[in-house]
Amino acid sequence: MKPGTYFMDGNTACAEAAIAVGCTFFASYPITPATEILERMALRFPEIHGSYLQMEDELASIAAIMGASWAGRKAMTSTSGPGFSLMMENYGFALMTETPCVIVNVMRGGPSTGLPTMVAQGDVMQTRWGTHGDVGVVVYCPASPQEMFDLTVEAFNTAEKYRLPVVLLSDAMVAHMTEKVVIPSKEELTVVDRKKPTTSPDDYLPYCPDEDLVPPMACAGEGFGIHVTGLTHDERGYPSVDEETQTYLVTRLINKIRKNSHDILRYEEYRTEDADVIVVAYGSVSRSAREAVDMAREEGMKVGMLRPVTIWPFPEDRIGELAINGLKAFLVAEINFGQMVYEVQRCTEGHCPTYLSPRMGGSIHTPEELVERLYGIYHHEGEEGAP
Amino acid sequence: MSIRKSRNYFSPEYMSQQKGKDMGYGLHPLDDYLRKDRIPHIWCPGCGLGVVLSSFLRALENTGIPMEKTAVVSGIGCTGRVAGYLNIDSFHLTHGRAIPFATGLKIGNPHMMTTVFSGDGDLFAIGGNHFIHAARRNVDFNVICVNNFNFGMTGGQSGPTTPTEATTTTTPFGGFEHPFNLPGVAAGSGAVYVARWTTYHVEALINSLEEALNKKGFCFIEVLAPCPTGYGRRTGQKTGKDTMKYYRDNSRIEHGADPTKVSLDGGEIVVGKFVDRDAPTYQERRGEIFQAIRDKMGVK
Ligand SMILES: Cc1ncc(C[n+]2csc(CCOP(=O)(O)OP(=O)(O)O)c2C)c(N)n1
Ligand code: SF4
Ligand SMILES: [Mg+2]
């Protein structure tokens, strides 16, 4: 699409961002509330010489984008909770084999088929721990159609730079709302491509990392004769099923995220400079939280908001810092029965209390109810039985 | 024998010692196709997998397709280990997902001659849905299914091709489910090339593989292969040789046989080329339609 200002829904913005950043392979299976991404791709791919496939299920969708990634393409799939659950095994395969790709999960109410058309945020921990084994992951949480665009671009760039599947964890509200979206020009857009080997095929070790812990990636058909396996593998990519190789490989895969988290981590702070109470919110709920902060400020409460933009890696150092520096409390507002709240609690190390404003799905918190909750915490924290 | 058992051939120390050394197995004409530093393989004595693999490599050599333009994708299982021994771009996927991965690989890079090499359980139990859909789409790649009538890797359980009455570790009193007739499934789903051979029919198998490699569209070859360890020893064929004799005595070649009528129910084994037809591939159909749209839009 031409650069400019559009009135666009979140899912369309996501599809357009993928195209803008060079995605030429897309495979997906229809599911509410993510289907519009697939439909947009079907419409747009002929003109960009892209390959789009409606697969037989989500197991196939994620396998197909991994295949395309190893064919040298930038590839993406989109789904919602039920499909995301099906993708968990190959999410692990992509992490283990360091396959760059982007998985969009537009969250709806669960568990199971749940509330197909309505908002929820129940997949936070699934993106972190949903696949078996120990992994390091990167997950972005957009809060507006504009961020559906910007963070899709960033998700691709991170996937390419660090060689891993990156999740864009959206929700039904953000994906379906229509708002102003600015599409940048080619010059304004940052596009990162995977590192290619600089050695000859004979000397190339496909899983030997550079200093940033990321190995350069040769793809199929480039003459390197690569072998890719989900088994524990050595630097040649050969299966080596022993403790030593396992320790070396898994440690590197986790450190790849940890040691680069200064580069990957993103969060936004809103009016936190002098805040006594901070709301932690992400995705659609952060929109209510922002409003609630303004309303509470008008009533004389010093409150602010911290919004994780990457929920993994999590802004743990920043939360710890705020907790130590005399904060009264954190209030975590999320559309689930408490997932991110445990992370916040962990990071405060007991220096200040963490409260939860849960919601089971179907709608987002209203600013008013958050203000009410903030009022209780702000004025009564520390009193018996409060708040 | 005793050395084989005591030495860990897969330890990094052993492998680094062997790097660049003549492994003492002599040169085989197909050595270039193999990752020699990964030999010896894990397969049992008497296993049919070596025969299928060498037949595939011979066919590959005959086609003259350059190695760097060839990819093999496998799933999980003893057959799934094929990918790891090949000195070409090779992918060892999760259980059942070789076909959708190959779909992405082939469509992502249409210049790759892509072959899926996997077992009956991988392709038709956990991966069955992907198989019928890839055949329906007529994506341009080949599927070789090594049918040893059981889950070899996990120790001889029954699977979707196990003959009804066979005794396996999960059907200790004999089974009660009907097996798939794989050529029937393939042909019914849209495969343009369907053949069945056994490891006894090596020359015919090589010819068939070569035809499939050279053919456009979704090609399927079923190869019956002995698995003495997982299957044979519980069904009266204690060695690979017993199974080979069984294939010799019970097979009948019938090219063009109706693929829906070649079920294996423990009796006669009908082998041959059952389907060889031409149909536009997924890539061709899509290419045409997309081009027409681009022409209409006036974009290149
Ligand atoms: C999701 C999943 N389920 C189960 C397994 C265990 N498993 C490994 S191999 C295999 C069966 C393989 O059978 P087949 O494809 O016939 O291969 P063979 O070993 O007979 O060549 C199973 C069930 C697995 N690896 N992954
Ligand atoms: S278990 Fe069967 S299929 Fe597996 S290597 Fe042994 S003989 Fe071959
Ligand atoms: Mg088998």
| pLDDT tens digits for range A29-57 | 999 999 999 999 999 999 999 999 999 99
**Is residue B4 over pLDDT 50?**
no
The confidence score (pLDDT) of residue A347 equals: 98
| pLDDT tens digits for range B76-129 | 999 999 999 999 999 999 999 999 999 999 999 999 999 999 999 999 999 999
pLDDT band at B3 (very low <50, low <70, confident <90, very high): very low
CA A79 to centroid of ligand 1, rounded, Å: 27
The confidence score (pLDDT) of residue B39 equals: 87
**Facing residue for B129 by CB, picked from A57, A61, A68:** A57
The confidence score (pLDDT) of residue A253 equals: 98
Within 8 A of B105 by CB-CB distance, chain A residues are 67-68, 70-71, 220
Give the residue range(s) of CATH 3.40.50.970 domains in chain A: 4-183
- CB contact (8 A) between residue A225 and residue B88: yes
Tell how far CA B132 is from the center of its chain: 16
Within 8 A of B9 by CB-CB distance, chain A residues are none
The confidence score (pLDDT) of residue B26 equals: 60
**Is residue B19 over pLDDT 80?**
no
**Is residue B12 over pLDDT 70?**
no
The reply to whether ligand 1 has any atom less than 6 angstroms from the CB of B77 is yes
Mutate to test the pocket of ligand 1, among B122, B130, B131, B143 (most ligand atoms within 8 A of CB): B122
- Please state which CATH class domain B25-297 belongs to: alpha beta
β-strands A267-270, A303-308: how paired? Answer: antiparallel
Residues with CB under 6 A from ligand 2: B 43-44, 47, 49, 78, 148, 152-153, 227-230
Q: Going by CATH, does the domain composed of A4-183 fall within 3.40.50.970?
A: yes
| Nearest ligand, CA B122 | 1
Helices (H), A206-339: 243-258, 261-264, 285-298, 316-324
Taking a C-beta distance cutoff of 8 angstroms, is the pair B107, B129 a contact? no
- Ranges in chain A, pLDDT < 70: 382, 384-387
**Nearest Cα residue to atom 6 of ligand 1:** B154
The confidence score (pLDDT) of residue A49 equals: 95
The reply to whether ligand 1 has any atom less than 6 angstroms from the CB of B191 is no
| DSSP notation for B149-192 | SSBTTTTSB--TTS-TT---SS-TT---SPPP-HHHHHHHHT-S
Long-range contacts of A373-380 (CB under 8 A, 24+ apart): A373/A331, A374/A277, A374/A279, A374/A292, A374/A296, A374/A301, A374/A303, A374/A331, A375/A296, A375/A299, A375/A301, A377/A277, A377/A328, A377/A329, A377/A331, A378/A276, A378/A277, A378/A296, A378/A301, A378/A303, A378/A328
* Shortest CA gap A152–chain B (Å): 21
- CB contact (8 A) between residue B108 and residue A68: yes
| Nearest ligand, CA B77 | 1
B33-47 average pLDDT score: 93
| Residue A138 burial class via C-beta count within 10 angstroms: exposed 0-12, middle 13-18, buried 19 and up | buried
ipTM above 0.90, yes or no: yes
CA B120 to centroid of ligand 3, rounded, Å: 5
Interface-testing mutation among B34, B36, B68, B105, with chain A (most A C-beta atoms within 10 A)? B105
Fold that domain A267-378 belongs to in CATH = Rossmann fold (3.40.50)
The confidence score (pLDDT) of residue A384 equals: 64
The confidence score (pLDDT) of residue B201 equals: 98
Q: Is A365's Cβ below 8 Å from some Cβ in B?
A: no
CA B69 to centroid of ligand 2, rounded, Å: 29
**Is residue B9 over pLDDT 60?**
no
The confidence score (pLDDT) of residue B29 equals: 78
Report pTM.
0.95
- CB contact (8 A) between residue B105 and residue A46: no
* Structural domain spans, chain B: 25-297
The reply to whether ligand 1 has any atom less than 6 angstroms from the CB of B92 is no
| pLDDT tens digits for range A9-29 | 999 999 999 999 999 999 999
CA B273 to centroid of ligand 1, rounded, Å: 28
**Nearest Cα residue to atom 24 of ligand 1:** B95
Q: Is A229's Cβ below 8 Å from some Cβ in B?
A: yes
* Shortest CA gap A245–chain B (Å): 9
Give the residue range(s) of CATH 3.40.50.920 domains in chain A: 267-378
- For residue A290, the tally of other CB atoms under 10 A from its CB is 21
**Nearest Cα residue to atom 1 of ligand 2:** B152
